[in-house]
Chains A and B, each alone.
Chain A
Amino acid sequence: MNDRTTRTRAGGTSTTAPPELTVRDVTVRFAGLTALDGVSFTVAPGSVHALIGPNGAGKSTCFNVLSGLCRPDAGAVTLGGTELTRLAPHRIAALGVARTFQNIVTTQGTVADNLMLGRHALTRAGFTASALRLPGARREQREHLARAREIAELTGLGNHFDAPVGLLSYGDRKRVELARALCLEPRVLLLDEPVAGMNAAERARTAEVVAQLRAELGLSVVLVEHDMGLVMRLADEVTVLDFGRPIAHGTPDEVRRDPEVLRAYLGTDATGEDAA
């Protein structure tokens, strides 16, 4: 916790490598349906780990387990030495795990409001201090607003900083989510289909931002994406899920040649390339 506050005071740039994220034998059942069945993988510090699989493979459920929205029936998720599976979502966020959603989930108000929500776990101002507009609370808000603006610039939202989110284009709203997650100064970033529904230019821009983040901030990224081109370009490691079971694991090149993966994506007799 202390380490985190000092880190953010320093302007949000991380010098220490993020801790290792380990998923061990995670099983989730929804009333008879096994959404995840003994899923295990490890996200190496500072790497991009992609989670792929056909629709309904359990990728989003896996994200929900990682961010604490869904408690697994068995197995454990640990970040460094901390077990995440017993923690409430806001505690996990405070440890530096941020996520985006497959379908955009923003709040009303401006881009700035949304990004400042991302600073929630890093700020302290409570009800009393905010109501009385104490100098400490105002200073904190000013400082964090400046950092939120930086992040908006970084993600290409600089021009829209004070615009209501509801008026932005789909691609921009998707980027607001990414920027909001970044505002948490995450050590692990969970991206659920960050380019779904975007056009080619927007996709390229987002891919660029993710690559840049990883290079500059050294954070670990877990990526769920159907765009295989993006996955192949960004990911260091890929885990493939099918009907909740992990069926393959390895580097993008290994995975795209794996017969099990081809079968899951294209059916039994498939011999083609990947399922982009």
Chain B
Amino acid sequence: MSDRITALLTHRRATLLVVAVLLCLPPFYLDAFWLRIGLFSMAAAIGAVGLALLSGTAGQLSLGHAFFLAVGAYGYTWLAGDPGPGLPTALAVPLAVLMAGLAGGLFSPVAGRVKGIYLGIATLALVFLGHHVLLTAESVTGGFNGRSVPPLSLGGFTFDSDGGLNVLGVPFGAEERLWFLGLALFALTWFTARGLLRSRPGRALAALRDSETAAAVMGVDVARHRSAAFVVSSMYAGLAGVLLALAFRRVVPDYFGLVLSVDYLAMIVIGGLGSVAGATAGAVFVTALPLLMTRYADQLPLVAAPGSADGAVGPTEAARYLYGAAIVLVLLYAPDGLHGLARRARDRLRRRRTPTTAPDTAVPSPPPPAAAARPKEHTP
């Protein structure tokens, strides 16, 4: 028995190592376009994991995610830049994340009391408020034109294209360097979010989602945990905002609109609510799709090249249609998202490999969440 556990542990560790090595390879082989897709995907994944904690695990809808991304992005830019305190950039990153957390905390009197879809409406206000502030507080945000983002510098190493750095014969520009920063931040997100979900706070949040009453009589402080979920989710959004700002090298108010919040909701729905891996998969899908379609617009049927104004469907719109369709398909046929699909495939594979297990140890895969329990006989 213990042998099997050690074997399993080493197996898991080996898988982790292989994945880590594979993720470190792209900067050596892919050009900046692909690296940028990767970077934006990693940033989106960090933000989506935060939203998955809030919406998927704690059952709280938020349409204000873009606001907290903006707080992170602009917070970093302001803290490290001029005009601003001009702090060391390495210090500005954690402070920007804390700022986003603080913004979430300020909203916690609402986030702790209002639940589900009503919180979604309440957070809607944040997006418009945030957008307005970004446009008008010009001394801090640079107004409509935004601000350029100071590159991050960690102990003498700067994440920009200067210095002519070569690693193994590959010139390392900003994208290559930021790739590793993104990986590190994403690994941190993965580690912490899974730690949270599998322990006391995660269980308390899931209990709040499934039954507030049961959670309360089991000793869960309902308002406190709702607020905490909101703060934690804001902090992940803040971190995502920082990475986005570094990747874009310029922050502009129009990016942080309601559409961005909706994109994040799409990510966690497509990926599967309440799972870190699912949120990541959803984030990659939603982020990469429009970028890829823009790049290959000339080779795609029915999609016009970007910039052509003859009424055809542009690649960005086409991508939106596609992931809109993806959401509909997911909701209809796989309500637990990509994560659920992957899990069922894995279970099926495992069952095929070990066809004769004792009946009491063979635990079938858990049923999809409550949303999936509705009858499907009307679907064609």
What residues of chain A have their CB less than 8 Å away from a CB belonging to chain B? 67-69, 88-90, 92-94, 98-99, 101, 105-109, 113, 116-123, 125-127, 130-133, 137, 141, 159, 162-164, 166-167, 180, 184
Which of A89, A101, A130 is B200 in contact with, Cβ under 8 Å?
A: A130
Which of B192, B211, B222 is A132 in contact with, Cβ under 8 Å?
A: B192
B191 at the interface (CB under 8 A from A): yes
Q: Are A113 and B206 in contact (CB under 8 A)?
A: yes
- In the bound complex, how far is the Cα of B195 from the Cα of A127, in angstroms? 9
Dominant secondary structure at the B interface: helix
Q: Are B203 and A69 in contact (CB under 8 A)?
A: no
- In the bound complex, how far is the Cα of B164 from the Cα of A125, in angstroms? 47
Report the stretch among B8-16, B31-39, B283-291, B364-372 that lies at the interface. B364-372
- In the bound complex, how far is the Cα of B217 from the Cα of A121, in angstroms? 10
Q: Are B206 and A69 in contact (CB under 8 A)?
A: no
Most buried by A among B192, B201, B210, B214: B214
Q: Are B206 and A116 in contact (CB under 8 A)?
A: no
Which of B192, B206, B222, B370 is A109 in contact with, Cβ under 8 Å?
A: B206
- State how many angstroms separate the Cβ of B352 from the closest Cβ of chain A: 20
Given A108-B369, A131-B193, A167-B367, A121 and B218 contact (CB-CB distance below 8 Å): yes
Given A93-B217, A118-B218, A120-B200, A108 and B210 contact (CB-CB distance below 8 Å): yes
Which of A69, A101, A125, A167 is B199 in contact with, Cβ under 8 Å?
A: A125
B251 at the interface (CB under 8 A from A): no
Given A117-B207, A120-B204, A163 and B363 contact (CB-CB distance below 8 Å): yes
- In the bound complex, how far is the Cα of B207 from the Cα of A98, in angstroms? 16
Q: Are B215 and A117 in contact (CB under 8 A)?
A: yes
- In the bound complex, how far is the Cα of B203 from the Cα of A113, in angstroms? 7
Q: Are A90 and B216 in contact (CB under 8 A)?
A: yes
What residues of chain B have their CB less than 8 Å away from a CB belonging to chain A? 191-193, 195-196, 199-204, 206-207, 209-211, 213-222, 228, 232, 360, 363-364, 366-367, 369-370
- State how many angstroms separate the Cβ of B213 from the closest Cβ of chain A: 6
Q: Are B201 and A130 in contact (CB under 8 A)?
A: yes
Given A132-B195, A164-B363, A166-B367, A88 and B200 contact (CB-CB distance below 8 Å): no
**Inter-chain contacts of B215 with A (CB < 8 A):** 107, 117
Given A120-B219, A130-B201, A105 and B213 contact (CB-CB distance below 8 Å): yes
Q: Are A101 and B363 in contact (CB under 8 A)?
A: no
**Inter-chain contacts of A164 with B (CB < 8 A):** 363, 366-367
Q: Are B214 and A125 in contact (CB under 8 A)?
A: no
**Inter-chain contacts of B200 with A (CB < 8 A):** 116, 119-120, 123, 125-126, 130, 137, 141
Q: Are A90 and B201 in contact (CB under 8 A)?
A: no
- In the bound complex, how far is the Cα of B191 from the Cα of A113, in angstroms? 20
Which of B204, B214, B222, B370 is A101 in contact with, Cβ under 8 Å?
A: B214
Which of A94, A101, A109, A130 is B219 in contact with, Cβ under 8 Å?
A: A94
**Inter-chain contacts of A166 with B (CB < 8 A):** 366-367
Q: Are B191 and A120 in contact (CB under 8 A)?
A: no
14 contacts between A and B (CB under 8 A): A67-B217, A68-B217, A90-B216, A101-B213, A105-B213, A116-B200, A117-B218, A117-B220, A122-B219, A123-B200, A130-B202, A133-B191, A162-B363, A184-B219
**Inter-chain contacts of B228 with A (CB < 8 A):** 127
- In the bound complex, how far is the Cα of B215 from the Cα of A99, in angstroms? 11
Which of B204, B213, B363 is A167 in contact with, Cβ under 8 Å?
A: B363
Given A127-B228, A130-B195, A120 and B216 contact (CB-CB distance below 8 Å): no
Q: Are B221 and A131 in contact (CB under 8 A)?
A: no
**Inter-chain contacts of A106 with B (CB < 8 A):** 210-211, 214
Given A108-B369, A159-B360, A141 and B210 contact (CB-CB distance below 8 Å): no
Q: Are B366 and A90 in contact (CB under 8 A)?
A: no
Q: Which residue of A lies closest to B224 (CB)?
A: A90
Enumerate the 3 nearest inter-chain pairs by beta-carbon distance, A residue then B residue, closest first. A121-B219, A93-B219, A164-B366
- In the bound complex, how far is the Cα of B202 from the Cα of A265, in angstroms? 46
Q: Are A117 and B221 in contact (CB under 8 A)?
A: no
